[in-house]
């Protein structure tokens, strides 16, 4: 039988394309999610409270995928555009890691996927209780966060305008780093007011599967896999709080903060924005292929659930997720591929 992954019956990727360098890091997490969904294991949900506290709870995968349809009736479209968000941009919004549809091609949910190892390099030498995972966020994540927030409040855009217009209408040149540095704290205040007013509309955005190893060893821990799901509001706090800590420096986090405020301001006042222009104009001398990165020493303060240290899915379940010898399609020179390959009992790298 053809190598395959659990739960992915309909996809824009053929099964032979599940295993490549830029494919397996998103196809495996979807298979893990489908497996957990069918086993009744809810992911950990990282969300924001009205008092701006980070909450770790559980959320059904039905809410993450925004459907009660079974996995076999879902179409998992990788690196695809979530068309409902296109209405808010005059330019093409590009794709996101995963768009969940049904088999009738109805759009259900856009999700970014970040497969991360626990511990990361920066926390691997610490006590296990201090282990964390590094998150590297790309521009698509923050772009879809902003567009998702707008879609959720599209009937209340006037309220958002009243929050952002007094601050943002005074900005003459969004590409001027000195002007943005001067405005960073008031932009943060506006974003805080926005999130406090609309706290009830936050929704899943980023699916972060973790794979736990025995320290820096490639060997899987017995409790090896789990999924944390970040809401759009919770994820925004990573860069907003970092920007607030050093407002005069146009860091990557400050750039993300200013971009989010500008998108919310322009759509709330004009109903559309030039999203590509925002991301190119507001580069502030940083590379544009990465939005920002947060190491495990930071993310562990958000991933507070005990399941960060004791993931819910045991390594023995790997053979139920990767089917028909699919691990033999992997390239063991890549760390995660290598870990999976040998965990499933392969004794050599020869295929």
pLDDT in tens, 3-16: 999 999 999 999 99
Q: Is 328 among the domain residues? A: yes
Q: For the purposes of burial, counting CB atoms within 10 Å of the CB of 67, is it exposed (0-12), middle (13-18) or buried (19 or more)?
A: middle
**Average of per-residue pLDDT across 228-255:** 92
**What does the pLDDT look like over 44-67, one tens digit per residue?**
999 999 999 999 999 999 999 999
Q: Is 57 among the domain residues? A: yes
Confidence of residue 331 (pLDDT cuts 50, 70, 90): confident
Share of the chain above pLDDT 70, in %: 98
Determine the pLDDT at residue 350.
40
Determine the pLDDT at residue 303.
97
Q: Is 349 among the domain residues? A: no
Contact status, residue 250 vs residue 172, Cβ threshold 8 Å? no
- Strand stretches in the chain, DSSP E: 4-5, 10-11, 44-48, 54-58, 74-80, 96-102, 107-113, 116-118, 135-137, 204-213, 220-231, 292-294, 313-314, 322-323
Q: Is 350 among the domain residues? A: no
Q: Is 306 among the domain residues? A: yes
DSSP state of 68: -
What are phi and psi for residue 220, nearest 5 degrees?
A: -70, 145
Going by C-alpha positions, the residue among 284, 256, 290 that lies closest to residue 175 is 284
* Number of domain units in the chain: 1
Tell which phi-psi region holds residue 183, choosing left (phi > 0), alpha (psi between -120 and 50) or beta: alpha
Integer Cα distance of 117 and 147 in angstroms: 29
Reading the block at residue 153, the tokens are 């409040």
Q: Is 351 among the domain residues? A: no
**What does the pLDDT look like over 123-136, one tens digit per residue?**
999 999 999 999 99
Q: Is 348 among the domain residues? A: no
Range of the domain at 182: 4-343
Q: Is 95 among the domain residues? A: yes
Q: Which residues pair with 80 in a beta bridge?
A: 96
């Amino acid at each position: 039988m053809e190598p395959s992954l659990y739960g992915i019956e309909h996809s824009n990727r053929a099964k032979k394309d599940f295993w490549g360098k830029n494919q397996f890091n998103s196809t495996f997490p979807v298979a893990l999610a489908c497996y957990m969904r069918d086993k009744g294991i809810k992911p950990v949900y990282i969300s924001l409270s009205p008092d701006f506290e980070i909450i770790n709870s559980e959320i059904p995968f039905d809410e993450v995928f925004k459907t009660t349809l079974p996995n076999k009736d879902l179409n998992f479209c990788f690196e695809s555009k979530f068309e409902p968000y296109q209405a808010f941009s005059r330019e093409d919004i590009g794709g996101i890691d995963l768009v969940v549809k049904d088999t009738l091609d109805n759009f259900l949910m856009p999700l970014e996927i970040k497969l991360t190892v626990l511990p990361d390099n920066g926390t691997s030498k610490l006590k296990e209780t201090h282990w964390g995972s590094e998150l590297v966020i790309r521009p698509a994540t923050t772009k879809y966060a902003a567009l998702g927030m707008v879609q959720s409040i599209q009937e209340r855009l006037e309220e958002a305008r009243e929050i952002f217009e007094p601050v943002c209408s005074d900005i003459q040149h969004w590409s001027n780093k000195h002007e943005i540095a001067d405005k960073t704290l008031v932009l943060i205040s506006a974003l805080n007011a926005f999130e406090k007013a609309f706290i009830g509309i936050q929704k899943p955005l980023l699916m972060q599967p973790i794979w736990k190893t025995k320290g820096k060893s490639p060997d899987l821990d017995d409790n090896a896999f789990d999924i944390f799901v970040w809401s759009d509001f919770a994820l925004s706090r990573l860069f907003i709080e970092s920007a607030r800590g050093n407002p005069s420096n146009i860091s990557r986090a400050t750039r993300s903060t200013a971009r989010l405020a500008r998108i919310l301001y322009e759509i709330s006042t004009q109903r559309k924005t030039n999203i590509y222009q925002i991301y190119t104009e507001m580069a502030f001398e940083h590379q544009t292929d990465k939005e920002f990165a947060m190491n495990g020493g930071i993310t562990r303060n958000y991933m507070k659930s005990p399941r960060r240290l004791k993931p819910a899915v045991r390594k023995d379940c790997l053979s139920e997720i990767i089917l028909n010898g699919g691990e033999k399609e992997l390239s063991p020179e890549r760390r995660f591929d290598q870990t999976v390959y040998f965990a499933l009992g392969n004794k050599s790298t020869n295929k």
